[in-house]
Amino acid sequence: MSLRPIPALLLLGFLLAGAAAAQSPSYLHFESGPVRPMALLPSGENLYVTNTSDNRLEVFSTGGGTIQHVTSVPVGMEPVAVAIHGTDAWVVNHLSDSVSIVDLSVSPFVVRRTLLVGDEPRDIVFGGPGGNRAFITTAHRGQHRTDASIAAVPGAGDPQLTTPGVPRADVWVFDATNLGSTIGGTPLEIVSLFGDTPRALTVSNDGSTVYAAVFHSGNQTTAVGEPAVCNGFAGASSCTVDGGTAPGGNPGPSTNHQFVTAPEVGLIVQYDEASGEWRDELARDWSPIVRFDLPDHDVFAIDATTLSQTSVYDHVGTILFNMATNPANGKVYVTNGDSQNLTRFEGDGTFGGSTVQGNLSQYRVSILSGASTVEARHLNKHIDYGIRPAPAGTSDHSIATPLDMAFTADGSKLYVAAFGSGKVGVYDTSDLEDDSFDPTVVSAGHIDLTGGGPAGLALHESEERLYVYTRFDNSIAIVDTTTDTQIGSLPLSDPEPSEVVVGRPMLYDANKTSSNGEASCSSCHIFGDLDSLAWDLGDPDGDITSNVMPATPAGLGGQGGAAPNEFHPMKGPMTTQTLRGMQNGGGMHWRGDRVDGFFGQDVPYLTMGGNDAGNEALNFDNFIVAFPGLVGGATPATDPGLQADMMDFTDFALEIVLPPNPVRALSNALSPSESSALTFYDTQLSDGVATCNGCHDLEPANGFFGTGGLASFENETQNVKVPHLRNMYQKVGMFGMPNLGGFLNGDGSHQGDQIRGFGFLHDGSVDTLFRFFRAVVFALPGIGFANDGERRDMEELMLAFDSDIAPIVGQQVTDDGSVNADVAARITLLRARAAASFTSKLLGGVVTECDLIAKGVVSGETRGALYDPIADVWVPDRQADPTLTQAQLDALADVPGQVVTYTCAPPGSGVRMALDRDLDGALDRD
């Protein structure tokens, strides 16, 4: 983490209060993905842009073919979308689980109300009667959906994280003209759709229908676990598994090119609708083994008046990014990626015969019409994936990671923000709809940009301008639509450290990292996170490599024909891991199999724990081989330029932080069942060898949240690194598996429709955490779980597992002077958490859970203040002003026209966010 200086002009009391947090970085990086970051007033008079990294809504005036910055409005943390309703701008705050309603009718602009919504909201549109209903996508979890103040709202309450067959795509619906008197607004309904977390929204031209797209919608693939695959590879005959017949073994090859026997592993299968069977690459039927159904519901149509689902569109794509409605014919366009995870192996395919190299995700625009018609248009159909590397010039015609879209008013032209290509694609919609376009021809009309990562578009046709939000340089590019060329760029304020800015392109830039201009690391690590899929990225052409990781007390087992201290390259299916929270993580990959990779043990990074296997920077550097071997780049890993870029990528990736756990209570207190499970976790032998904590280290002072970076043998066919446990809640939604291997502990029955094809374990083949804990030995006194109640308690603890930052971080409340006991109670909670200390290596040691800030308008000025929990006073953003008590701050909010919004900022960020935006030592009002 890059440390920023704390200004010297603060009061002594605040300096003393902030001493613990003074070592914390002034900026934490979450890499939230932009969704709808730009909005124009209907008149085109003003442009509004979400400044994600600086937690602000930026306002620009337009006219005369240019734009000018007008003002900057503090909102919640990590804003990713904005929409205009009347004289308000509604801003979706991804990390704060909130929506800031900015009043544009007053001067200065001010947040007049904060809505509290579900976890990680992403998009917002307006529709329904009078266009007055706000629709907001969120995950089906989070503390706000169980708040007592909305208990009577249809759809609110327990998210049922351990219940099969539950819809987990939430759309919160508010009446913009009647938000209710509850603390965070009273939704009309929380509409739950049968999919995973949703992202994009769009609305029909008449406002009567709202469309919601599932983000990680999947592609009807799942993993058959190794115990359910007959031993013997391609030569194996069928075998019986929990009363069902498995059709044979892993397709192989059974060795690598050195002819060392591979470990027995599972395989990925996909549902074939024509036959009604779960099939592998050999078209063998695994239906007797897969004990659930996986409908591929991707986009849902919602009646904006009745809030009922009216239709569903299947097979739109695997990862759905954004949506837009053609104003001429009402067809819905969806930018998406079609993941190719059924294809096995990285490398060149010489020995194994197949490879996914350069063909990770095929980027498309899918066009929806009628009640269920879906027509997918591959934007890069010029790519021949059989030629690796791709011929020179291929990438010139490619579009990577298509995000936002904008139509001309007549619907004849479509602009597409190509986040991974540094340009805006320009298409004739009739050519897209009939699939007659030629990428090698239309690419001549694409718009090249000087700033990378175009993520948002705002078309101002009367001014002949297209405004583009470019995330890599955090700027607004100005495009002349008569010539389709960029004519200017205006930077936004950006607190990101240089290592974030410099290293970010290595995650996304397909032109930089692949030869065909389509593939990048972000093809699977979506916005630095996961894709909810498993991939078999073994390499039959790979060599046996050494494993230098130390082992936990459980010891090491076998690796097929490789020795216990070696890695066989044929590792089988592995779920995509998040790039978040890798600090202090040591070895990476499920097996930690980059600990002795390309760079060896001699890279001059600080060694952790006396062993390079614990050096996460070295481990990440070693992934350089994935650029030619997996992404399909033409540059060899030995190239000095690529090596320098890789180290920049490492510096960037190790900055990304996991968000707060949305399941854990905002007070950070454990429930009785979670507390009981933690006692078990720390003290009782779970498997006859060690406690849970003996392998899954929970040591915040050392940055360990489930892993200490060691390896373990857990009755698997190969050794794995002990994984962290901070994001188990992201993996909920697959229910149904046979009794097999060590998991002979359920009824094995068919569980019906589910929303996710991959669950837990390295290959995603285990459906629930409860199933894990049922597999733990409990036959001996004092060892393992005594009953299913204890297992359920442990499952609850895992879903609410401790993390690097406290659950209160990002949380907000707005005090508008109205009498509301819940608002006062929430302010009290925020103050209490700002005074509560905990230990975090990421944040520099013992720190308070958050830096509590207050922003608002006082006497016609935008003001800020930072809470000093030791003196119990508020420090203002003008050096000459006295500190304020809470009662005095409350009184300011009681004045008509004055509103105060409180936010729990990350420890160390409070000075920057409340008092000194640019950290130049002069407070903002000075």
Tell me: the pLDDT tens digits for 163-210? 999 999 999 999 999 999 999 999 999 999 999 999 999 999 999 999
Residue range 385-404: mean pLDDT, rounded: 97
N residues, the chain: 926
Task: Identify the weakest region by mean pLDDT among 32-36, 479-483, 496-500, 775-779.
Answer: 775-779
Mean pLDDT within 267-286: 96
Residue 23 in tokens: 């070592």
Stretch 245-250: mean pLDDT? 96
Amino acid sitting at position 610: G
The H-assigned helical ranges of 630-688 are 640-653, 672-683
CA–CA dist 74, 71 (Å, integer): 10
Per mean pLDDT, which range of 508-522, 650-664, 807-821 is the poorest? 807-821
Residue 777 scores a pLDDT above 60: no
Which residues are CB-neighbours of 82 under 8 A, at least 6 positions away?
A: 36, 37, 38, 39, 48, 49, 50, 57, 89, 90, 91, 92, 124
| pLDDT band, very low/low/confident/very high, at 576 (cuts 50, 70, 90) | very high
Phi, psi of 745 (to 5 degrees): -145, 10
Count of Cβ atoms closer than 10 Å to residue 66 Cβ = 14
887, burial (CB in 10 Å: exposed 0-12, middle 13-18, buried 19+) = exposed
What is the model's pLDDT at position 606?
34
State the DSSP code for 29. Answer: B
CA torsion 50-495-77-333 (nearest 10°) is 40
- Strand order through the sheet with 221-224: 221-224, 267-272, 277-279
Is the pLDDT at 15 greater than 60, yes or no? no
Residue closest to 842 by CA, chosen among 17, 23, 94: 23
Q: How many CB atoms lie within 10 A of CB 200?
A: 28
- pLDDT, tens digit (0-9, with 9 covering 90-100), for 538-565: 999 999 988 877 776 555 666 789 888 8
CA 510 to chain centre: 19
Q: Give the burial class of 860: count Cβ atoms within 10 A of its Cβ; 0-12 exposed, 13-18 middle, 19 or more buried.
A: exposed
Average confidence (pLDDT) over 778-799: 82
- pLDDT at site 851: 98
Q: What is the pLDDT of residues 793-813, one digit of tens each?
A: 999 999 999 999 999 999 999
Q: In one letter, which amino acid is 585?
A: G
pLDDT at site 552: 66
Q: How many CB atoms lie within 10 A of CB 39?
A: 22
